[in-house]
């Protein structure tokens, strides 16, 4: 992690769902250039041995304001997310980045299969927004799993994207645990098991992401063909 640390100022906190918050930061020293899907590291003044380093994916593509938009879910008893919830506009946090290789392929895929659970949707949303803004959205499916209907992150936005882009399919599912996703499995088998060249990208906690990568490998994908971003 060679990227230098700099201070960022808190611009705003906005409630997105009962248990998720959007946090907008402004790097004070220099703007960050990043690719959709990448993440930054926040150094938080909490925990037994501060700073506590916590990674957060960028939720919005780079913008002229230089603001960085993050979204975090409120982990019960979580030191990092608990601290972020307590921030006020003007508060300062050291950050570094961008990091990560969970980014869109260089060449246009025949079909982009994005699969995310809860806050795992954050980097996928960033990619979709970037592609849609540039008029480059390829044939694509987003499988979005949420713990409850109230926690369906970006639900209206994804519905609107599907309504305006006939080549984009939005498939939301609700299941309380990360590993109870029979419908998700069926849909993946349908999309990725028919010989079409599919680029799969999965984000979320390991209990969600890893079994789905294993499923795709059973369907004939090479391990390296399945891009994964795990949060824990």
Considering beta carbons, is residue 122 or 191 the nearer one to ligand FAD? Answer: 122
Considering beta carbons, is residue 86 or 166 the nearer one to ligand FAD? Answer: 86
Q: How far is the CB of 135 from ligand FAD (least distance, A)?
A: 26
Considering beta carbons, is residue 51 or 100 the nearer one to ligand FAD? Answer: 100
Instruction: Give the chain as a 3 state SS string.
Output: CCCCCEEEEEEEEEEEECCEEEEEEEECCCCCCCCCCCEEEEEECCCCCCCEEEEEEECCCCCCCCCEEEEEECCCCCHHHHHHHCCCCCCEEEEEEEECCCCCCCCCCCEEEEEEEHHHHHHHHHHHHHHHHCCCCCCEEEEEEECCHHHCCCHHHHHHHHHHCCCEEEEEEECCCCCCCHHHHHHHHHHHCCCCCEEEEEEECHHHHHHHHHHHHHCCCCHHHCEEEECC
Considering beta carbons, is residue 70 or 143 the nearer one to ligand FAD? Answer: 70
Considering beta carbons, is residue 7 or 205 the nearer one to ligand FAD? Answer: 205
Q: How far is the CB of 203 from ligand FAD (least distance, A)?
A: 8
Q: How far is the CB of 8 from ligand FAD (least distance, A)?
A: 16
Q: How far is the CB of 220 from ligand FAD (least distance, A)?
A: 27
Q: How far is the CB of 70 from ligand FAD (least distance, A)?
A: 6
Question: Where on the chain is the footprint of ligand FAD (CB under 6 A)?
Answer: 39, 54-57, 71-73, 75, 78-82, 100, 119, 122, 205, 229, 231-232
Considering beta carbons, is residue 117 or 215 the nearer one to ligand FAD? Answer: 117
Residue with smallest beta-carbon separation from ligand FAD: 78
Q: How far is the CB of 40 from ligand FAD (least distance, A)?
A: 9
Considering beta carbons, is residue 60 or 73 the nearer one to ligand FAD? Answer: 73
Q: How far is the CB of 204 from ligand FAD (least distance, A)?
A: 8
């Amino acid at each position: 992690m060679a990227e230098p640390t700099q201070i960022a100022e808190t611009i705003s906190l906005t409630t997105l769902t009962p248990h998720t918050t959007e946090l907008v930061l402004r790097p004070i020293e220099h703007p960050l250039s990043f690719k959709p899907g990448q993440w930054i590291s926040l150094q938080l003044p909490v925990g037994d041995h501060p700073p506590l380093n916590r990674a957060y994916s960028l939720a919005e593509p780079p913008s002229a304001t230089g603001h960085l938009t993050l979204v975090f879910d409120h982990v019960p008893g979580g030191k990092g997310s608990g601290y972020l919830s307590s921030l006020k506009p003007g508060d300062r946090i050291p950050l570094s980045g961008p990091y990560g290789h969970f980014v869109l392929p260089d060449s246009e895929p025949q079909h982009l299969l994005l699969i995310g659970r809860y806050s795992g949707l954050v980097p996928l949303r960033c990619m979709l927004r970037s592609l849609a803004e540039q008029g480059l959205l390829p044939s694509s499916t987003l499988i979005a799993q949420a713990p409850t209907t109230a926690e369906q992150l970006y639900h209206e936005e994804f519905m609107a994207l599907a309504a305006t882009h006939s080549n984009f399919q939005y498939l939301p599912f609700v299941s309380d645990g990360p590993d109870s996703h029979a419908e998700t499995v069926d849909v993946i088998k349908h999309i990725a098991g028919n010989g079409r060249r599919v680029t799969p990208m999965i984000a979320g906690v390991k209990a969600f992401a890893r079994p789905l990568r294993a499923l795709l490998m059973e369907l004939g994908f090479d391990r390296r063909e399945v891009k994964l971003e795990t949060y824990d």
